[in-house]
Amino acid sequence: MVIRVAKANDAYGMARVRVLGWRTTYRGIVPTEHLLKMSSGAIEWADRIRTAINHREAHGYVAVYDDEIVGFVLYGEERTGEYPDHKNEVYAIYILEEHQGNGIGSKLLEHAVQSMCGAGLLIWSLELNPYRSFYEQKEGQIIDTKDRIIGELSLREVAYGWETAHHDAIVGA
């Protein structure tokens, strides 16, 4: 497995991992109709990734195994400006289910954190995400919550934050 900088032409593979990641992670949490509709939006999401990478509005790393993207992290500046101690945000981190549990997520997050020049970081996760303990293992602290509407369902999101001094919990932890 190789981890490398994401390129604009990786966008479709990243979108595919996102769709499959949502389908496995949120099965039984998010309405099935919403998960099935994600495939139709994958091309649009891939276009947004491609544009963001080309315009340097987002950066990322991909995990590649046998010439296939099996995981990725996408990050950049925190989008709202509401968290002065957290200048950076991980927009998305997904690993295909069959590749989870072998350190890919940690390696992707470490690469992203090392690229963020030591500034604070935040990551949003659905509260019901069965894998959010990953952020707690990395010593992320819940700094905010908000409701997110998915289809007709309102789900709580939590923001995990790391201040500059706590990046060591992610890198090498």
Q: Whole domain around residue 128: which residue ranges? A: 2-169
Place of tokens 């080309």: 54
Over the stretch 119-168, which tens digit does the pLDDT of each residue have?
788 999 999 999 899 989 888 899 999 999 887 889 999 999 988 645 55
Over the stretch 74-133, which tens digit does the pLDDT of each residue have?
999 999 999 998 999 999 999 999 999 999 999 999 888 888 866 788 999 999 999 899
- Are 152 and 49 in contact by the 8 Å Cβ rule? The answer is no
Closest CA to 161 of 103, 91, 85, 94: 85
Could you give the number of structural domains in the chain? 1
Over the stretch 13-45, which tens digit does the pLDDT of each residue have?
999 999 999 899 888 888 888 888 887 778 888
Mean pLDDT for 45-71 is 94
Q: What is the pLDDT of residue 145?
A: 97
Q: What is the pLDDT of residue 58?
A: 94
Q: Per DSSP, what are the bridge partners of residue 35? A: none
Q: What is the pLDDT of residue 128?
A: 93
116-159-38 Cα angle (round to 5)? 90
Q: What is the pLDDT of residue 38?
A: 81
Could you give the 3-state DSSP secondary structure of residue 65?
strand
Q: What is the pLDDT of residue 164?
A: 67
Q: What is the pLDDT of residue 116?
A: 81
Helix (H) or strand (E) holding 25: helix 11-25
CATH number of the structural domain spanning residue 135: 3.40.630.30
